[in-house]
Structure 1
């Protein structure tokens, strides 16, 4: 098989593999959110918003600082993505008339080379836009999180939780764009590394996105160990408190007797 035929065969197969995985992931998030990390995180953020807004005077500073940390992380990713986009644009414009790209495997035609660089540039631009939207939602939530919310009026809590989840979804889409840029970068070196990267990334993303029996066992192993240690520490503290109370009850009659004799 010739080099051009490998590009026409392996590259669509790798992209189709990633597309089918994300279509399945989207269907699972919509139908069975508890089986995905995205759905569980959305439910956890909803509970966190309800806890923070139940007492804004006490939890307002903690909520604003948490959202500020997320804004700083989104700002960092947005800066990295727009910087990489600018560097790729400068590299393509300066190397447009050169023929040095012909030494790379699978890069014999100028049109194919342009498609490779344009796809990478598009990934970083999408990541930049998603992170900017993430900053927008988080900044809006930082104002709304300090509003007092009663138990009867849950519309405010639902609105704040919805905006917070939208910001998190934009963050996830920005990360997916970064993930997709890895096989596209390897496509510069040929279609075979690109296809292998797509296959490995699908497996790794399945491990990171789902909460199946296999992944749940691996995720909860360290948590169970920490929980057992915490339970042991708590049981030890309870036993020590019980011993102190029993000693106090044992010696308290003697103390009362000594105090009465002294009187």
Structure 2
């Protein structure tokens, strides 16, 4: 039996997907059962404590909150810009009729059929677009946190006589967790 180039695709792609999904299922399990043994759980708890401390002493720490969140927004903007730049570059290479495609096709492992190579490039393009949209949503949530973390916590009373606050540290923490979840998912994907 002769070795075919598509054998690499038939073996490596399923094994890589199996390892990736297995790792993420294990990570999800550990975060749910013992969150402080993972960096995800530890960082989540630290962010929740940080939001509570900032909102408690808002008069003294409001500039610190804005600067910290601004730096996080700048990081998300850099990642989103990089993703969309890579998408544009990949689309330019794919639509190119010049000789640059030949060396790139030789660098691709596995089968080299037109459909297979196109499928591989479209998959990479889709991953980068997903990363761009995730980082954009992350920036949206951080912008909301940036405004709400410095909002006054004045009590209100509704028609039923219940007293509460519009903005609570728990609500702001949830928004911040959503933002960092969108950031973290893509950071894990880019490190693999």
Equivalence for 2:84:
82
Instruction: Give the Å deviation of 1:32.
Output: 1.8
Q: Quote the Cα distance in structure 2 between the aligned partners of 1:138 and 1:177.
A: 21
SS at the partner of 1:108? coil
2:114 to 110, 115, 133: 110
Contact 1:124 1:177 in 2 (8 A): no
The answer to whether the aligner puts 1:131 opposite 2:135 as a matched pair is: yes
Contact 2:54 2:62 in 1 (8 A): yes
* Stretch deviating more after TM superposition (12-21 or 97-106): 97-106
Q: Assess, with a 3 A threshold, how the Cα gap between structure 1 residues 31 and 149 changes in structure 2: closer, same or farther.
A: farther
Equivalence for 1:142:
146
Contact 1:53 1:145 in 2 (8 A): yes
CA offsets per residue over residues 171-219 of structure 1, 9 Å max, x none? 112213433xxxxxxxxxxxxxxxxxxxxx4xxxxxxxxxxxxxxxxxx
Q: Quote the Cα distance in structure 2 between the aligned partners of 1:79 and 1:99.
A: 24
SS at the partner of 1:147? coil
Q: Quote the Cα distance in structure 2 between the aligned partners of 1:171 and 1:112.
A: 30
Instruction: Give the Å deviation of 1:4.
Output: 1.2
CA offsets per residue over residues 78-135 of structure 1, 9 Å max, x none? 0000000011011111149997266445242111101111111111111111110110
Unmatched runs of 5 consecutive residues or more in structure 2: 155-162
Equivalence for 1:37:
39
The answer to whether the aligner puts 1:158 opposite 2:191 as a matched pair is: no
RMSD between aligned residues: 2.4
In the superposition, the TM-score normalised over structure 2's length comes to 0.84
SS at the partner of 1:44? helix
Q: Assess, with a 3 A threshold, how the Cα gap between structure 1 residues 50 and 99 changes in structure 2: closer, same or farther.
A: closer
Q: Assess, with a 3 A threshold, how the Cα gap between structure 1 residues 121 and 99 changes in structure 2: closer, same or farther.
A: closer
SS at the partner of 1:106? coil
Contact 1:52 1:59 in 2 (8 A): yes
Within 5 Å, give how 1:172-191 maps onto structure 2: 172-179=184-191
In the superposition, the TM-score normalised over structure 1's length comes to 0.62
Q: Assess, with a 3 A threshold, how the Cα gap between structure 1 residues 94 and 72 changes in structure 2: closer, same or farther.
A: same
Unmatched runs of 5 consecutive residues or more in structure 1: 180-200, 202-263
Divergent runs of 4+, >3 A: 95-99, 101-105, 152-155
1:62 to 37, 44, 64: 64
Greater percentage in helix: 1
Q: Quote the Cα distance in structure 2 between the aligned partners of 1:63 and 1:91.
A: 42
**How many residue pairs were aligned?**
179
SS at the partner of 2:150? coil
The answer to whether the aligner puts 1:19 opposite 2:31 as a matched pair is: no
Contact 1:53 1:157 in 2 (8 A): yes
